[in-house]
Every structure is written in C-alpha cells, then in structure tokens.
Copies of this chain bind each other. A is one copy, B any other.
Amino acid sequence: MNIKEKIGLKVKSMREEKGFSIEHLANISNVDRNYISDIEKGQRNVSITIIEKIIHALDVDFATFFNDKSFVK
C-alpha cells in the first residue's frame, strides 16, 4: 500500500470513528467533499495544509494521527 492509500484509510477510519459523514467532515474542515472522497480512496497526494485541516477537524494531533502501525516503514 502506498502512502496516499495509507492516509486515505486512516482518514476514513478516524472519520467513521467520530461518526462523521464525508459531507460533515467537509463542512467542518473547509475541504471540498469530493476532494475528501478522493483522499479516502488513496487518489490524492495531499498537502500538509490539507492534512492539517482534516486532522484538526477530526480533533486529533499530528502525532496521534500518524501513531499507527500502518505508517511504520
């Protein structure tokens, strides 16, 4: 799995853990819903500013978001 796919799965699992729809996450993060959908599918080489918006909307820190065995080399 490449890093874009790993990020996508992590965003999707954290969003679902919060009980958020893609539309809700889009609204509170100020990121387009189609863009979030593409990220979750592993189709976007997402930038650090977009990651920050999504992570903060999910109410977690970078360390928490990336502290996942899927991100280990």
Listed in ascending order, the chain A residues whose CB lies under 8 Å from chain B are 3-4, 7, 45-49, 51-52, 56, 61-63, 65-68, 71-73
Number of this chain's copies in the assembly equals 2
Contact A46 B47 (CB under 8 A): yes
- Cβ-defined partner of A4 (8 Å) among B4, B49, B66: B49
Give chain A's interface secondary structure class: helix
Contacts of A51 in B (CB 8 A): 48
**How distant is A20 from chain B, measured CB to nearest CB, in Å?**
18
Alpha-carbon distance A43/B15, docked complex (angstroms): 30
**Least CB separation from A2: chain B residue:** B49
- 11 further A-B contacts with Cβ under 8 Å, apart from A46-B48, A48-B48, A62-B66, are A3-B48, A3-B49, A3-B52, A45-B49, A47-B48, A48-B51, A61-B72, A61-B73, A62-B71, A63-B66, A67-B67
